[in-house]
Structure 1
Amino acid sequence: MSAVLPSQLRLATAGRRSLLNLGLMLSLSASPLFSSSSLAEDNARRSYQVPAGSLSAALTRFAGLAGVNLSVDPALVSGRDSAGLAGEYGVEEGFARLLQGSGLQLQPVGEQAYTLMPAPQGNSLQLAPTSILGTTDASQGEPYAGGQVARRGSQGLLGSRDFMETPFSMTTYTGETVKNLQARTLGDLVASDPSVRATNPAGGRFEQFSIRGLSLFNSDVAYNGLYGVLPTYTIDMEMADRVDILKGPTQLINGISPRGGVGGGINVVSKRATDKPITSVTGSYASDNQPGAAVDVGRRFGEDNQFGVRFNGVKQSGDTDWDHQSVDRQMAVLGLDFRGERLRLSTDIGHTERETDAPQERVQVAAAAPVPRASDVSRNYAQHWTKARTEDTFGAVNAEYDLNDSVMLYGGAGARKSNHDFLRHNVVVSNAAGDFAVSPRDFTRDENVRTANAGVRNWFQTGPVSHELNLAASYFYMDFENGGARYANGRSNLYDPVQTPKPNIPTRPDAKVYTENHFSGVALSDTLGFFDDRLLLTLGARWQRVEVDDWSNGVKGPTAYDEEKISPSGGILFKATDKLSLYANYMEGLSQGKIAPTSADNSDEIFPPFISRQVEIGAKYDAGALAVTAAVFRIKQPAYATDATTNDFGPNGKRENTGVELSVFGEPIKGVRLLGGVMYIDSKLTDTTNPAFDGNRAPATPEYNVNLGAEWDVPTVQGLTLTSRGIYSSSQYLDPSNTKEIDSWERFDVGARYAFKVDDKRITLRANVENVADKRYWSSAGASDDSEPGLTLATPRTYLVSATVDF
């Protein structure tokens, strides 16, 4: 059947022929990319994948895939967006999903023919009970049942996809989860994920994580798909609308990460103004004495609300629960956007400052010393004169343009300038009594980043096979300069800290090390859909080039390199039923070489790039109100270590992480929400420099991580919700010889929130207690790649209280 309007319909609408000629869907069959040999009945359910974007493009693509006619007055859809859809739908059900929140409704005008008209005032579109639950503004993403996790996540090269359409393990946390956890930093948020663990003290100079047992630095966290834009050391969560956590190497979809993280990737999605005005003010308090305030304001204006402005600002300062430690943080981020019929633009400009007095360091253990007792560490062992000062100014611009209804161009560019100033000392425990030398070091670091990407995405059909073809290029540049000085040693004790005088006369200056990184790449992928997209096959490859040059006191160093590689990747997903998806993937990538830590004698030495490989199979079950995902994976990459004898950091064989993940999220019972899971990892070392280590467990990699969070809406008190969360990690080794080990640990958090209205203002009170039992334990044995070895002390019991007023 032809996809042009029937003759009787054309005659009936002759007076509007000129308007229809400008319609979004006129004659899909005229395009070979969207030809169809047969049409489904209106009530037949099929699998569809329509990306988020302009409403006109979404409607046109859906109508072409469904093989129906749609005539539209362009004025009705101009400037409107759609969240897209992915899953099983009937024709009218799919149109209803795309139109939700638009104020428009579908009107049949003949067999397989439709038009749009404004929905009557006061009416809303109703979806069939089998449809996906929840709805939100297109810029925010559609939440899954319970609102803690979003259905769709950003996947760089592959665009935005529903988790049931994704051949990877991925979780996207919503802005609502950020608020309810009262997450101040990225580390506060990722504590909810069993595949992610923080490997640096919460009261330290910086945050660092591990995903699937492999290190991830803040530098490897993307901002709307761009690496290196966000602050290097700590990322404030008040700027985040969503946070995507993808497990496994991400080189195909995002390119080379600045610090070479291969266990997974994190992408922070910025906030955008919604059609509903936003005015939100929050007052907060964190123990011991950290009052704070935050403001969130968003407005849209212009014809069809084309222009948007969103501002978020935060100021919080005061003492923490650790002796003589205080934190002063401030953040301001302005987001602007434009959404036209085919063009979408956005820009974000931000500035953050953080000052921490007496930041905690990881506790290193000398070769002859036993693992110290964490339970006896009751005071801050950092000297009162230590400090960490960071200042970051950053910005990014992103654009999308629908060249036509099947081709989209996109691109982005970002930049950051950062200045960091630390006065710190190592903590290397030398004996069972907990003694350590105080070795002061003044450390400065200045960074400049420029990054960009550009690509084209094309949807088309070849016979019964659908295609989503992606071609993208990326570029990343960063230069940084490290400097500082060393001072005379003092003595202190982990259990009974001794305050030493503030250092003022350097014993020697550190060399000024200047480094330039250039990463570039070109990627090509195609997602082929078979059997009405029930089988999705993604094939792709990325050419990557890594260039690094460094100078020490103006003399070019010997570790410069320029290497390139083509890395193939692919994934396959089969929708066994409407609720069950089965998938497998192979990911490969080139990463920048490791950098020797400051504790090593070859500090700041940069090693050549390395290749990582992952194989993964998994299943995803969506019951509508509850989702369960499972994955089995194996990741291989080179291992590094600091030699106990020479104190030099360098390659040390290979490590292989084989593991199983199980995640659960949703609202299985009305008013009861679950979020959590479990991860098991068997991490082995092979081909090490000391053959006695072969077969040993890799350091800083627990065998089990378990998380489970629950929320309960108290039925007898409207607006009251009680929350709880349990976190567990099994024991970890501190060294590749597996002779030093930290115990397993568990942490319990509780909380409550109460939402109510006063006049037209919505007020939400939140209270959380982290580490209710106030247990002291080593939460991590350091970075899993040994780039920063040492023990991470758990955060003590912490009280968080806030009141939010939405005007």
Structure 2
Amino acid sequence: MPAVRPLRLRPLLKLSLMLSLSASPLFAAVSYAEDTAARRSYQVPAGSLSAALTRFAGLAGVNLSVDPALVSGRTSSGLSGEYAVEEGFARLLQGSGLQLQPMGAQAYRLVPVPDGSSLELAPTSILGTTGLYDGDTYAGGQVARRGSQGLLGTRDFMETPFSMTTYTADAVKNQQARTLGDLIASDPSVRATNPAGGRYEQFTIRGFSLFNSDVSYNGLYGVLPTYTIDMEMADRVDIFKGPTQLINGISPRGSVGGGINVVPKRATDKDINSFTGNWASDSQAGGAVDVGRRFGEDNKFGIRFNGVKQSGDTEWDHQSVDREMAVLGLDFRGERLRLSTDIGHTERDTDAPQERVQVAAAAPVPSANDVRRNYAQSWSKASTNDTFGTVNAEYDLSDNVMLYGGVGARKSNHDFLRHAVSVTNAAGAFTVQPRDFTRDENVRTYTAGVRNWFHTCAVSHEVNLAASYFDMDFTNGGARYGTATSNLYNPVQTPTPSTAIRQDAKVYTENKFSGVALSDTLGFFDDRLLLTLGARWQRVKVDDWSDGIKGKTGYDEEKVSPSGGLLFKATDKLSLYANYMEGLSQGKIAPSTSSNEDEIFPPFISRQVEVGAKYDAGAFAVTAAVFRIKQPAYETNATTRLFGPNGKRQNSGVELSVFGEPLKGVRLLGGVMYIDSELKDTTNGAWDGNRAPATPKYNVNLGAEWDVPGLEGLTLTSRGIYSSSQYLDQSNVKEIDAWNRLDVGARYGFKVDDKHITLRANVENVADKRYWSSAGASDDSEPGLTLSTPRTYLLSATVDF
């Protein structure tokens, strides 16, 4: 579980709709007659008013709704001693022209002292428990203000010296995102590199591979399903750009371009009863239930259940998907102790899953526009079965010290009957060699830490010390069958495999990662200047056996990776930042398509330098970043089929993103990324200066929503996606064309009796274009072309009651 700063657990920020505001410098007295019995000792250091209020509300165990504009730039002298709750707030607010307004049991909001002016606040939903961030949604509702940063806790994006976007549950619902691959279509820094109808999902961030194994669940790696992650389980999705080793430690597959964290759902103080019926073309139909309750004194106990069942045919001929998901979340929020656990199970069966298309050295790039049928054999299949769980805890040892920890585990069984697609000539011919492939995985992961807040003179400190341990073992096995031939443009149905001609070796691999991290965030000038310094010691131990014989490519290495970030709040609306981050990654494993299959390579180091700016206009925000990431480059030689390192690659780029509601009823979400990806130090200098394969220069995403005037509840949506051309190989000879995609949709919300109903309709790839959407990733062990998804219709109806 990402360690969430206790002083920010309960007082979550909610932007208010301001009609008019005039703050008085005088303080209005508050009566404490009914509050004296609840007096207790508090220690809140002097500093920014926002930090002081957040700290006090967290310790007092109350919920506080704050408009950031009201407290921006204000300071507090802090307090020390015994106070009742409202008395303590009054002391902190003294001279600020602000006062507390009750909103119910143990819930307050901050308002200006009345002076004849009017103030109208937007409705808020403020809840205070680990992993729950309702009430801090940014204007427009698609992005959250606060994101989870593992070791560094949960922070507002304007106080984060990194590039990060946190998508909300509303964004997931309104996009009708069934999997993580559907959701990332909104982010220009992220691209899917595997077919949507394939065996598994895989992505790139800033041009570098990100595998599902590297997607964390509440800060714990390796817990979520290996191949596809269902979005119905997610309350938030944090997308972090750049190496994340300081944040959560080394990831199982060593992703360096960034990280993704899925935040589980929690019960809210309001009962949740929701059912969604959904349909996707060709004939996929199903439903999802979402039920949540809180109970006990002060609603301390919570339970949340999400379940999904969907099955049917997709747009591709003889392809069908059957998926099931069940996730149960329990939590306890006490005065000092916070506990949560999540238990989940997912199953997914796919008939005729698509594969990436590999291109032989002598063959030209195939024409994607001429691929009109599913080239996967009807007998091919993918069956995945994952059971996972986590337990997380936080305990406030004192007003200034918090202990936290988390435990996670997963057991998975995967069974595939597949065939590679490697085009050998201009006519699109390829050989079909069926392969039965099984993979069984066991994961155990642990983290524990302590966080301490204190001041040295005028400097604030947030010191974090954490240890982590990750243990994953997996067994691969299978068999090969006789070959046949087919064609990319005119697929040929081949007989169902029956008699194996060769058994694959049974390969058993153990990965053990351990680490200790220390960081300190120093605040200067009332926390307007924040300096984060940290380092993580990491040990990577990998061993493998083939048919019981220990391999020669295992290793046991360690490294200390330093990181640092600097953020300056130039104004209340503008933050400037810079960071340097290092990461140690597990070595690559040679793919099944290479001549040295399953060879394990040593770990490698990646480095990033980034500078950026964030502008928060209240109704919308704009962020910009300039970055450079370096790491070794890998390739599968086109002639020898030998996989291994070949030089280095450097990705230098610029990102620009925008989100929010700049005009009432008009919401934007998207941005642009430019990457200059260069190869260096290749063998004999053959490819030096070339562009790294599978890395477009430009990615552009822009989504817009419009609430139709005069038709309350009706919203029209659209999204455009563009990627420029990409090379397939380091020689820069073969290239796929630039592509663009247009999605449109609409939703209509209304109420019948006491039931809220939302109807949604989306059309993805409206023009039904066929194109190669990705050439894989240049650091990927299995490169290949990804075919676009045909025009797809999505319909859903949600009933909240």
Number of aligned residues: 752
**Aligned residue for 1:250?**
244
**Aligned residue for 1:197?**
191
1:731/1:83 CA distance change after superposition, 3 Å? farther
Q: Could you say what secondary structure the match of 1:229 adopts?
A: coil
**Aligned residue for 1:137?**
127
Cα contact 1:699–1:786 (8 A) shared by 2: no
Q: Could you say what secondary structure the match of 1:288 adopts?
A: coil
Mapped pair 1:163 → 2:157: yes
CA offsets 1:764-785 (integer angstroms, 9 cap, x no match): 0000000000000000011231
CA distance in 1, matches of 2:697, 2:647: 21
- Match of 2:363, as an amino acid? A
**Aligned residue for 2:181?**
187
Mapped pair 1:633 → 2:627: yes
CA offsets 1:276-329 (integer angstroms, 9 cap, x no match): 000000100000000110000000000000000000000000000001000000
One of 497, 502, 511 as aligned partner of 1:508 = 502
Q: Could you say what secondary structure the match of 2:618 adopts?
A: coil
Cα contact 1:49–1:87 (8 A) shared by 2: no
**Aligned residue for 1:667?**
661
TM-score (norm 2): 0.90
- Match of 1:137, as an amino acid? L
One of 288, 299, 302 as aligned partner of 1:294 = 288
User: How far 1:13 moved relative to its partner?
Assistant: 8.7
Q: Report the more deviating stretch, 640-649 or 354-363.
A: 640-649
Q: Could you say what secondary structure the match of 1:219 adopts?
A: helix
Q: Report the more deviating stretch, 590-599 or 315-324.
A: 590-599
Cα contact 1:134–1:143 (8 A) shared by 2: no
Cα contact 1:345–1:397 (8 A) shared by 2: yes
**Aligned residue for 2:71?**
89
- Match of 1:246, as an amino acid? F
- Match of 1:481, as an amino acid? T
1:788/1:107 CA distance change after superposition, 3 Å? closer
User: How far 1:58 moved relative to its partner?
Assistant: 3.8
CA offsets 1:463-515 (integer angstroms, 9 cap, x no match): 11011110001110000000001111100000000000011111111100000
Q: Could you say what secondary structure the match of 1:323 adopts?
A: coil
Mapping 1:231-630, distance limit 5 Å? 231-630=225-624
CA distance in 2, matches of 1:721, 1:488: 54
CA distance in 1, matches of 2:461, 2:794: 49
User: How far 1:164 moved relative to its partner?
Assistant: 0.2
1:143/1:441 CA distance change after superposition, 3 Å? same
User: How far 1:118 moved relative to its partner?
Assistant: 5.1
TM-score (norm 1): 0.89
CA distance in 2, matches of 1:702, 1:83: 43
CA distance in 2, matches of 1:127, 1:177: 29
Cα contact 1:47–1:532 (8 A) shared by 2: no
Cα contact 2:93–2:99 (8 A) shared by 1: no
1:111/1:805 CA distance change after superposition, 3 Å? closer
Any unmatched runs of 5+ in structure 2? 1-30, 78-84, 113-118
1:262/1:58 CA distance change after superposition, 3 Å? farther
Cα contact 1:330–1:353 (8 A) shared by 2: yes
Cα contact 1:642–1:786 (8 A) shared by 2: no
Cα contact 1:287–1:320 (8 A) shared by 2: yes
CA distance in 2, matches of 1:110, 1:81: 16
Cα contact 1:291–1:318 (8 A) shared by 2: yes
1:613/1:226 CA distance change after superposition, 3 Å? same
User: How far 1:691 moved relative to its partner?
Assistant: 1.8
Q: Could you say what secondary structure the match of 2:682 adopts?
A: coil
- Match of 1:400, as an amino acid? E
1:739/1:134 CA distance change after superposition, 3 Å? farther
CA distance in 2, matches of 1:675, 1:562: 44
CA offsets 1:507-552 (integer angstroms, 9 cap, x no match): 1111000000000000000000001101000000000000000000
- Match of 2:295, as an amino acid? F
- Match of 2:173, as an amino acid? K
Mapped pair 1:771 → 2:777: no
CA distance in 1, matches of 2:33, 2:422: 85
Q: Could you say what secondary structure the match of 1:789 adopts?
A: coil
CA offsets 1:224-249 (integer angstroms, 9 cap, x no match): 00000000000000000000000000
Q: Report the more deviating stretch, 83-92 or 767-776.
A: 83-92
Q: Could you say what secondary structure the match of 1:404 adopts?
A: coil
Mapped pair 1:751 → 2:741: no
Cα contact 2:634–2:646 (8 A) shared by 1: yes
1:454/1:131 CA distance change after superposition, 3 Å? farther
One of 145, 170, 174 as aligned partner of 2:168 = 174
CA offsets 1:417-464 (integer angstroms, 9 cap, x no match): 000000000000011110100011100000000001011111111111
- Match of 2:608, as an amino acid? Q
CA distance in 2, matches of 1:85, 1:519: 42
Q: Could you say what secondary structure the match of 1:524 adopts?
A: strand
CA distance in 2, matches of 1:86, 1:492: 62
User: How far 1:108 moved relative to its partner?
Assistant: 4.3
CA offsets 1:370-398 (integer angstroms, 9 cap, x no match): 00000000000000000000000000011
- Match of 1:89, as an amino acid? V
CA distance in 1, matches of 2:253, 2:65: 33
Q: Could you say what secondary structure the match of 2:143 adopts?
A: coil
User: How far 1:83 moved relative to its partner?
Assistant: 7.9
Cα contact 1:713–1:721 (8 A) shared by 2: yes
**Aligned residue for 2:12?**
none
Q: Could you say what secondary structure the match of 1:697 adopts?
A: coil
CA distance in 1, matches of 2:433, 2:788: 23
Cα contact 2:749–2:756 (8 A) shared by 1: yes
User: How far 1:137 moved relative to its partner?
Assistant: 3.3
1:427/1:756 CA distance change after superposition, 3 Å? same
Q: Identity rate of aligned residues, in percent?
A: 75
User: How far 1:119 moved relative to its partner?
Assistant: 4.8
Q: Could you say what secondary structure the match of 1:191 adopts?
A: helix
User: How far 1:116 moved relative to its partner?
Assistant: 7.7
User: How far 1:123 moved relative to its partner?
Assistant: 11
Q: Could you say what secondary structure the match of 1:164 adopts?
A: helix
**Aligned residue for 1:785?**
779
User: How far 1:178 moved relative to its partner?
Assistant: 0.1
1:88/1:593 CA distance change after superposition, 3 Å? farther
CA distance in 2, matches of 1:123, 1:59: 10
User: How far 1:24 moved relative to its partner?
Assistant: 4.7
Mapping 1:680-759, distance limit 5 Å? 680-759=674-753
CA distance in 2, matches of 1:559, 1:453: 28
Mapped pair 1:646 → 2:640: yes
One of 204, 210, 219 as aligned partner of 1:216 = 210
CA distance in 1, matches of 2:420, 2:161: 43
1:780/1:50 CA distance change after superposition, 3 Å? farther
CA offsets 1:603-648 (integer angstroms, 9 cap, x no match): 1211110000000000000000010000000000001000122111
1:418/1:16 CA distance change after superposition, 3 Å? closer
Cα contact 1:197–1:211 (8 A) shared by 2: yes
One of 14, 17, 40 as aligned partner of 1:23 = 40
1:529/1:296 CA distance change after superposition, 3 Å? same
**Aligned residue for 2:14?**
none
- Match of 1:258, as an amino acid? P
User: How far 1:104 moved relative to its partner?
Assistant: 7.9
